[in-house]
Amino acid sequence: MTKKEGAFFTGNYRNLFKELGHSEAEIDARVEDTWNQLFFGDSEMKIYFEEGDDMGYMVDTGNTDVRTEGQSYGMMMAVQMDNKEVFDRIWTWTMKHMYMTEGKHAGYFAWSCQLDGKKNAYGPAPDGEEYFVLALFFASNRWGDGEGIYEYSKWAKDILRSMIHNGENGEGFPMFNPENKLIKFIPDCEFSDPSYHLPHFYELMSLWTYPEDQQFIKEAAAASREYLKTACHPETGLAAEYAHYDGSPNHIRGFGHFFSDSYRVAANIGLDWEWFRGDEWEIENANKIQAFFADKEMEDYRRYKVDGEPFEEKALHPVGLLATNAMASLAADGPHSKEFVEKFWNTPLRDGDRRYYDNCLYLFAMLALSGKFRIWFPEGE
């Protein structure tokens, strides 16, 4: 970290919409309306659905399944919006249907389930576990721990322990490479996904997890900040969906290009800068990403090589890409930073079958750019 000027140290969160002249009342209403449409709106817009008296799930409307990505995102959204009921409903569904207690992935969550809870796969996706851990820590800090699965802080610590230590004493694999401290794409592989790198999350996990795990996850934060410098192209700032540990694109299954997962890198860089002033490089890279997209209309967004060469294939999630480009403005100080925030403000939520991923990124951007994506500390800290 560079200077102690981030929100972690000061408690001050930028409201970029207000900086552009929008009123606090207008901004608050927009955030609330976005949340309400996605969680309680009509069936053509919502992505959250309730089951029974105590459960809820987030639907990937493009694939008609429930993913740990969406469940963990929904929990993070709920704790930021101070809605404990939604948080607990999602967590209850997740623990009932997704948590694995046997086999090589014991301690992790099945990354995809059918809407009735039947597992589509028995492998985990670490981006879900990362968000589960911090959302649970935030829930503990904001609302206090309950009992059983609602003892949030214990579950956060135990999940993170599995992510670090699985496989040390037999069957299984950790989610972090033990030597270089980098998060993996999946536990039983040796390459990464740049959008999984959340140094700002790891900084907080290192404060609240088991003492014996604190140093490892603290070092993971530093390793991720350095890794992103190698994974993002030096001219465009773009990262691939999959990348080797040296940061070079990994073209296995055609995922060595800038596409859907990659969009989150800009958002993560922006939030790391907002919370921790993670690295001066983040300003530079945010400016590069925005410069690359400055002359492109959202309707023309495509798949790109990391050097910027476009494919004919259009972006599956153009609204999500615009949202993350706007979130980059938390770090960017270039000529396009205000432009992207205003463009995002003037863009509505996406409707239709592909709305899930776009609108998850949209709500995160709405929270972050309004100063409402906050660190929740334990009482008294």
Q: Which residue matches tokens 């350095």?
A: 226
Whether the Cβ atoms of residue 330 and residue 16 lie closer than 8 Å to each other: yes
Rounded to whole angstroms, how far apart are CA atoms 148 and 377?
A: 22
Rounded to whole angstroms, how far apart are CA atoms 58 and 39?
A: 9
Q: Look up 179 and say whether it is catalytic.
A: no
Q: Name the active-site residue from 69, 130, 272, 274.
A: 69
Rounded to whole angstroms, how far apart are CA atoms 17 and 271?
A: 16
DSSP state of 332: -
Q: Name the active-site residue from 60, 193, 203, 261.
A: 261
Q: Which residue matches tokens 């980059």?
A: 328
Q: Look up 241 and say whether it is catalytic.
A: no
Whether the Cβ atoms of residue 262 and residue 240 lie closer than 8 Å to each other: yes
The neighbour count for residue 289, using CB atoms within 10 Å, is 29
DSSP state of 313: E
Helix (H, G, I), strand (E, B) or coil at 65: strand
Q: Which phi and psi angles does 255 have, rounded to 5°?
A: -100, 20
Q: Which residues are catalytic?
A: 69, 261
